[in-house]
Amino acid sequence: MRSPFPGMDPFLEDSSLWPQFHQSLVGRLRDDFQQRLLDYDHYWPRLHARHYVADGEHREDYIEIVHDSDDRLITLVDVVSPANKATAAGREAFQSTWRRGNQAGANLVEIDLVLQGQPLVEYSRDGLPKWDYAVTVLRRKMPKQFEIYTSSLPKRLPRFKLPLAADERDAIVDLQAVFARCYDQGGFGARIDYQQAPSVALSDENRQLVERLLPGLNTNSNCFTSESLSPPTIFGKKRDARMAATKCIGARLWNN
């Protein structure tokens, strides 16, 4: 059974589903990277995991792309979890991973498929278009410029450029294709009750989309209000987003 959504499925944010989905998605991404990096012949994507406690124990896999010759970290790819965006311990665990990647001189890639909580990557969003989901790329050679590949609930997930060494071409990753394999192979369609509202709060626009896609849905749920949503808070020092906005608009974003 395929997901009824054209892109990300908000039902997967449920706490009973997310841990397996996260692990499966990261694993499928690693497999995808491994195939794409065969053309380069000197990179290897490997899995690492972090552990922390926030309303229970959490294990979250992430990907390190290393150079075969000296095991040097080239690119770190991290999929955000609800706990990363909604709990202090989860936020610190994610940011600690990013600090380590930054100190190693690696490119950083954040894949955020979570509606709830507050943003993790620190830059001002003033003047940028709204989005539900995003891949944010921070290249080591341009540490103050963000590449933002965005998507919304009615659209497919984006393709994005996976940076490698500064003198080599990027690999292109189709996030929607990886998500589809993850969803199908993980059997998530059989585990989700699409007659009940998702556990994550939705905006009015997204609620209307869900009702159109799932006509048998029970809408008598507090999750179908936007009252619990608040404007995002950026933690720490805000960065100037003018360069990020220029890059986001000027780059080829592959968003449908």
pLDDT tens by residue, 48-61: 999 999 989 999 99
What's the CATH code of the domain at 35?
3.90.1570
What is the arrangement of strands in the sheet containing 73-79, beginning at the earlier edge strand?
43-53, 57-67, 73-79, 107-112, 133-138, 146-151
Q: For residue range 111-141, what is the model confidence (pLDDT) as tens digits?
A: 999 999 999 987 777 888 889 999 999 999 8
Please state the domain count of the chain: 1
232 pLDDT more than 90:
no
Output the pLDDT for position 175: 98
Tokens standing for residue 215: 């006509």
Evaluate whether residue 95 is within a structural domain: yes
Q: For residue range 160-174, what is the model confidence (pLDDT) as tens digits?
A: 999 999 899 999 999
Burial (0-12, 13-18, 19+ Cβ within 10 Å), 128: middle
Work out the pLDDT band at 144, boundaries 50, 70, 90.
confident
Q: For residue range 96-109, what is the model confidence (pLDDT) as tens digits?
A: 999 999 999 999 99
The DSSP secondary structure of 114-131, one letter per residue, reads --SS---S----TTSPP-
Evaluate whether residue 224 is within a structural domain: no
Q: For residue range 80-92, what is the model confidence (pLDDT) as tens digits?
A: 999 999 999 999 9
Evaluate whether residue 34 is within a structural domain: yes
Evaluate whether residue 222 is within a structural domain: no
Evaluate whether residue 203 is within a structural domain: no
Output the pLDDT for position 169: 94
Buried b (16+ CB within 10 A) or exposed e, 238-249: ebebeebbebbe
Evaluate whether residue 4 is within a structural domain: no
Lowest-confidence region among 154-158, 196-200, 249-253: 249-253
Q: For residue range 205-229, what is the model confidence (pLDDT) as tens digits?
A: 999 999 999 987 776 554 544 333 3
Is residue 143 within 8 Å of 150, Cβ to Cβ?
A: no
Q: Which one is predicted more confidently, 21 or 221?
A: 21
Q: Which residues form the domain of 171? A: 10-195+237-250
Evaluate whether residue 83 is within a structural domain: yes
DSSP lists the bridge partners of residue 47 as 63
Evaluate whether residue 158 is within a structural domain: yes
247 pLDDT more than 80:
no
Token pair 């930054």 in the structure block, residue: 102
